[in-house]
Amino acid sequence: MKRNISLTLMYDGSSLHGWQMQENAATVQGHLTDALERILGHKVTLYGCSRTDCGVHANTFCCNFRTERETPCEKIKVGANALVPESIAVLSAEEKPEGFNARFDCKGKEYVYKVWNSRVRNPFYTNRALHHPISLDEALLDKECKAFIGYHDFSAFCASGTEVQDKRRTVYDFSVRREGDLVLFTVKGDGFLYNMVRIMVGTLLDINSGKIPAGTLADIIESKDRLKAGITARACGLYLNKVFYDEI
């Protein structure tokens, strides 16, 4: 009888080429698969809750795999942490019902985008936050971002060429707040299109600079036109913060 094991991870994506395994590139899936195969002594197929891009981080990431080995979950966790790079940490390992799938059972996600908003860069946030030296009006941006909340077609906020046909998603909450020189953009929804959060943040940054007029986000969403939205913010500031499997 095969066991279905779920792992919860966190990782710094600065030196990684995203989640998904690639030839000749260091990825989270690749490192973790190698570690698990060494521990269990057989081929492992990992199913991830998301496909984070090169340079994107995760405070919480879930994946699952199957094995016939009776290796205790705690031993899998400890062994994996000993074998993966220091940029990856396995927080927990637990058995799940046979039908559980980290991707398809996921009911929603929360992302945080970090902006270091100071004229002087912070070396400790290099590749871990976007350095934006122009002053941000977090109160204005918190007001503007509420236009994203609701069930919308987000065609204007996904990378061109995406193969997903249905671009309708529900955003449950969006907020912008300041903690000193760090400005945090937090968005929670039932799912996100390719580069959707980064384009949302980039559009808000363009509203802050006046490149896009305030009060026009609803019209941009309605237009479904990528050219009317703003820039795609760099990957370095993006964190998959939470993954929801019960209630969002």
List residues with catalytic annotation. Answer: 53
Name every residue whose Cβ is closer than 8 Å to that of residue 122 and which is 6 or more positions away in sequence: 116, 129, 131, 181
Name every residue whose Cβ is closer than 8 Å to that of residue 175 and which is 6 or more positions away in sequence: 142, 145, 185, 186
C-beta atoms surrounding 50 within 10 Å: 22
Name every residue whose Cβ is closer than 8 Å to that of residue 133 and which is 6 or more positions away in sequence: 117, 118, 119
Name every residue whose Cβ is closer than 8 Å to that of residue 128 and which is 6 or more positions away in sequence: 12, 14, 57, 114, 236, 237
